[in-house]
């Protein structure tokens, strides 16, 4: 009734469906990758425009006052997206003693 190649393709599809079902239903350990980590609080943001030290390129500084972080980004006209320039953890920066 069915040709030999049709039976093989049907068997292959059943095997692939079984593998896909196993992968999808397998318990994931990603949810508890950081079991002792505190949930990150919702931030409050301030945005400040500026320029880089090199001049010319405009930069937007995003400051998260709750988590005490600063991110600087600029607009990439070629890609039509924001490009990250830098990140600073303000708590870590204030904990370091300044060098003379």
What's the pLDDT tens digit per position in 4-47?
Answer: 889 999 999 999 999 998 888 877 655 555 566 778 888 899 99
What's the pLDDT tens digit per position in 49-63?
Answer: 988 877 667 899 999
More confident residue, 98 or 4: 4
Q: Which domain holds residue 56?
A: 45-95
Q: How far apart are CA 10 and CA 7, in angstroms?
A: 5
User: Is the predicted pLDDT of residue 67 greater than 80, yes or no?
Assistant: yes
71, burial (CB in 10 Å: exposed 0-12, middle 13-18, buried 19+):
middle
User: Is the predicted pLDDT of residue 85 greater than 70, yes or no?
Assistant: yes
Residue 60: both structure tokens together: 């937007």
Q: How far apart are CA 94 and CA 18, in angstroms?
A: 55
User: Is 38 part of a structural domain of the chain?
Assistant: no
User: Is 60 part of a structural domain of the chain?
Assistant: yes
User: Is the predicted pLDDT of residue 88 greater than 80, yes or no?
Assistant: yes
User: What confidence score (pLDDT) does residue 30 get?
Assistant: 56
User: Is 61 part of a structural domain of the chain?
Assistant: yes
User: Is 75 part of a structural domain of the chain?
Assistant: yes
User: Is 3 part of a structural domain of the chain?
Assistant: no
User: How many domains is the chain partitioned into structurally?
Assistant: 1
- Does pTM top 0.75 for this prediction? no
User: What confidence score (pLDDT) does residue 11 get?
Assistant: 93
User: Is 69 part of a structural domain of the chain?
Assistant: yes
User: Is 10 part of a structural domain of the chain?
Assistant: no
User: Is 59 part of a structural domain of the chain?
Assistant: yes
């Amino acid at each position: 009734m069915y040709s030999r190649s049709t039976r093989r393709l049907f068997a292959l599809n059943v095997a692939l469906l079984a593998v896909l079902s196993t992968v999808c239903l397998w318990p994931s350990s990603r949810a508890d990758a950081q079991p002792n980590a505190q949930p990150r609080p919702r931030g409050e943001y301030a945005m400040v425009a500026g320029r880089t030290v090199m001049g010319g390129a405009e930069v937007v500084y995003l400051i998260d006052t709750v988590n005490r972080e600063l991110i600087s980004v600029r607009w990439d006209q070629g890609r039509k997206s924001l490009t990250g320039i830098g990140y600073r953890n303000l708590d870590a920066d204030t904990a370091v003693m300044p060098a003379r």
